[in-house]
Chains A and B, each alone.
Chain A
Amino acid sequence: MSVVTTTRESGSGLAPAAMVVRSWKAPIAFAIFTVIGVVLFIALARGGETTYRLSNDTDAIILPSIVLPADATGIVTVVLMAIIAVYAFMLVRGGTKVPLWLTTIFALMFLLGFLTWAAAGSTVPLVGLLAGALTVSTPLIFGSLGGVISERVGVVNIAIEGQLLAGAFVAAMVATFTGSAIAGLLAAMVAGAAVSAVLAAFAIKYLVDQVIVGVVLNVLVIGLTSFLYSTVMTADPELFNKPERFERIAIPLLSDIPVLGPILFNQTIIVYLMFALVPTVWFALFKTRWGLRLRSVGEHPKAADTVGINVRATRFWNVLLAGLIVGGGGAFFTLAAIGSFTKEMTNGAGFIALAAVIFGQWNPIRATLAALLFGFATNLQSTLSIVGSPVPSEFMLMLPYLVTIFAVAGLVGFSRPPAASGRPYIKS
């Protein structure tokens, strides 16, 4: 929840930002969610008990399940939420920002109340829920990391969807040919970079609008992969579409930690790669010379050019790098999660990744958290539809997109893209 609201492009076009010292967004949002809580958890209480299963039967350490009475939990969480909301109002009136930990506690309270209410009378497999969320999130995180790099260097990447799909397709094909999942992963990265190369060539060399190229590339990749899927892959799936998959590797000791162990440390190599990639990208972007150059090219190419940075080359190579990352994420679909390629299998993941980039304010760590949140919301929806929740699943699926609109409209958080993002640099 930010304090500054800028009016970009609106107003007279020379609008210096309006500085607002007090932001009432957080307390108002808290109040709205508390009211929702009152309506759902108390007025529409469903009775019964909710069981949280913390371990699978095969785990080394088996924790007992937690049973919560649904109605009582609802009342307690609502009361706590109300207290936090009032406290936030007082804080803002006193001129203090609402601290992040308070927002976090509030969100957790709401989530606990919501889960307990939605799953009243049945069992929530917590490990499965979180593990599934990580599975859904993994390609999103790869996509958003690529998106962050690409936008930070000044090239809008609408083609994340296409890069993921290309990665998934090529990974399936190459892994089947060679019988090696690693080869598939590498090929997927090359495929992602190839899509990026087209984007970069058209955007940087031919100065075509990046949004147009991105949109067209998505259509092109969907067309190409669907065409080749229908002609080549379905003709002989054994030869083309039966990839060697990555095995799960359990890290000794760490994977025995209750709840989190099996989720985080019994994963495929792609997920471990992602664990390493997120801090690396963050560090590289903000703490290295490469990152400084990259960001300067995206913020103010002219200034970067003046100090001797080759703007076009920097853009080209970093967009390619972004493609490598996203392509690798695409391999997760075919080499880890599903195991074969199907038409349009990414199903909008690239656009959720784009949403995560924006909601994560073009920061790798925040974008990752946003991707995790979106992945969690998506997976929560499928878990709840199994236990029979009263909330229509479509509304849960809508969440990432809705949140993004609020974000770009400045209602939630603060969104300011890199200044030169989307604009080709013409050396003068």
Chain B
Amino acid sequence: MSDDTKTPKSGTPKEQTAAEKVHEQVVAHETGRDATEPAVPRSNQIIKEIFGGSAAISVLAVFLALVFGGILIVLTDEAVAQASVYFFSRPGDTLVAMWDAVAGAYSALFRGSVFNYLRVDDLAVAIRPLTETLANATPLIAAGLGVALAFRVGLFNIGGRGQMLIAAAAAGYVGAYIPMPPVIHLLVALIIGLIGGALWGGLVGLLKARTGAHEVIVTIMLNYIAFYLVSFLLRTPGALQAPGQNNPKSGPILETAQFPPLLGDAYNLNLGFILVIVSTIYVWYLLNRSALGFRFRAVGENPHAARVAGIKVERVYVQVMLIAGALVGLAGVYQVLGNFTGGFASGLDASIGFDAITVALLGRSKPWGVFFAGILFGALKAGSYTMQASEGIPVDIVLVVQSFIVLFIAAPPLVRSIFRLPTPDPLFQWRTPKFARTAEVTK
């Protein structure tokens, strides 16, 4: 799975026929580009395309995914099934049942994620869903930033789960078992957790830089290694397991290390959300205003060009994975110090590591894009519980809607063809010149 076609493989020098050389010179002349330079790796091109998509595509993708979710709800709804038995005698009933199913589901989603209009009498209760959305969005944004940052350098960070687990285990150990004075305790636990995530992520960068191991494979495998490692620690007395317990579960996090709530104890929203806003600003600053971020983007655009410009690409891989690991680690720390404060088990990542990939893609790997994508998915998550409680629709529907969103976002041509949108030029430009000219030359 190496990225570039034109790198010669093991020891066989690239042989060119005279015709090929002429061809390349012609292409170089016509495209104003040196044809002998290595091609831009595919993953880098993909990322460029994802950025290139317009906001309209994002909105349409979300809309399409909700339509698909609606179809799924209709298909499995019992009232619809009952009405459809006599569809040909009274088709109206089926349509009404369909409408009821979908409207019921999506209004429950709204009630659970934005504003509970059934309880307008009590504002404190009515606005609770919104705070739930933000609380659910907190780890998604943090992990999404980590994935997005790696994307910008051309790396797929599928290792969110592992980085979260390691960060959570590190922060959880400090938070639950090492008593410290207030404030300091929280800071130390947070920092230790971030370091844990950073090291687990940095390992991927190091392996990629040193051995060329593909980060997708390494991160997938590290996810499982982290899972079993943390599972082991959670059932080992003296490590993470709560003293005097048999369950593979940690002790409760000490009061001094918990994220303090922002709006009082009635709401789940806590300091984590502020940290996530700070992280978003930091990533924005890093990418757009710092020298390091410039190097990141340069490598992301074209590692070969970056190398020629004197950027140490290998070092960038390690640096970006360290930071990405710390960002994803923040999600893990939040889960432990802010969410499961009564003690955590090995399922603490709650598939956020994977959701983060969808968040990063929907946010087009831009810091604020990720922020709002995270809030959208946080809303879906928060609303799904209400949907399950009031309409009996399993929370898994969110996974389906999420994956549809990403599929549509990742394939702009598909969305365009569904809605018959015009094809913008820039997206196809990197293909068209080659089309025409090669044909001429080979003749």
Contact = CB atoms under 8 A, between A and B. Distances in A.
A198 B414 CA distance: 12
Contacts of A324: none
A16 B12 CA distance: 7
A191 to B, nearest CB: 16
Contact of A213 (B1, B8, B410): B410
Contact of B4 (A13, A223, A228, A416): A13
A228 B354 contact: no
Interface stretch (B85-93, B223-231, B277-285, B336-344): B223-231
A224 B399 CA distance: 8
A60 interface: no
Nearest to B435: A428
Interface stretch (A2-10, A110-118, A119-127, A250-258): A2-10
A405 interface: yes
A9 B9 contact: no
Interface residues of B, number: 68
A413 interface: no
B361 interface: yes
Contacts of B207: 405, 408-409
B179 interface: no
Contact of B8 (A9, A14, A202, A424): A14
Contact of A202 (B10, B398, B410, B434): B410
Interface string A383-411: 00000000010110110011011001111
A371 to B, nearest CB: 15
B3 A220 contact: no
Interface in B215-264: 216-218, 220-222, 224-225, 228-229, 231-232, 236
Contact of B410 (A212, A351, A410): A212
Contacts of B209: 10
B72 interface: yes
Given A216-B403, A220-B403, A223-B400, A232 B76 contact: yes
A420 interface: yes
A220 B228 CA distance: 25
Contacts of B411: 202, 206, 208
B13 A16 contact: yes
Contact of B406 (A9, A212, A226, A358): A212
Contact of B221 (A9, A15, A395, A402): A402
B308 to A, nearest CB: 9
Nearest to B72: A227
B407 A227 contact: no
B314 interface: yes
A419 B410 CA distance: 24
A422 B72 contact: no
Nearest to B236: A392
Contacts, number: 191
A10 B210 contact: yes
Contacts of B76: 227-228, 231-232
B165 interface: no
A58 interface: no
A226 B394 contact: yes
A427 to B, nearest CB: 8
B419 to A, nearest CB: 15
Contact of A219 (B43, B393, B403, B431): B403
B213 A405 contact: yes
A409 B399 contact: no
B429 interface: no
A420 B5 CA distance: 7
A255 B344 CA distance: 49
Nearest to A220: B403
B225 A202 contact: no
A9 B4 contact: yes
Contacts of B232: 392, 394-395
B11 interface: yes
Contacts of B236: 392
Contact of A206 (B212, B358, B414): B414
B166 to A, nearest CB: 14
Given A12-B307, A402-B221, 20 more contacts: A6-B10, A8-B212, A9-B3, A10-B209, A10-B211, A13-B7, A16-B8, A16-B10, A158-B216, A206-B414, A209-B42, A216-B358, A223-B402, A401-B221, A401-B222, A405-B213, A405-B217, A408-B214, A417-B2, A423-B5
Interface of A: 4, 6-10, 12-17, 19, 156, 158, 198, 202, 206, 208-209, 211-213, 215-217, 219-220, 222-224, 226-228, 230-232, 348, 351, 354-355, 358, 392, 394-395, 397-398, 401-402, 404-405, 408-411, 416-417, 419-424, 426, 428
Which 6 A-B residue pairings sit nearest by Cβ, starting from the closest?
Answer: A223-B399, A220-B403, A230-B394, A17-B10, A8-B212, A226-B396
Interface of B: 1-5, 7-11, 13, 38, 42-43, 46, 72, 76, 156, 158, 207-214, 216-218, 220-222, 224-225, 228-229, 231-232, 236, 303-304, 307, 314, 354, 357-358, 361, 393-394, 396-400, 402-404, 406-407, 410-411, 413-414, 431, 434-435, 438
7 contacts: A13-B304, A202-B411, A212-B406, A219-B402, A224-B396, A351-B220, A395-B228
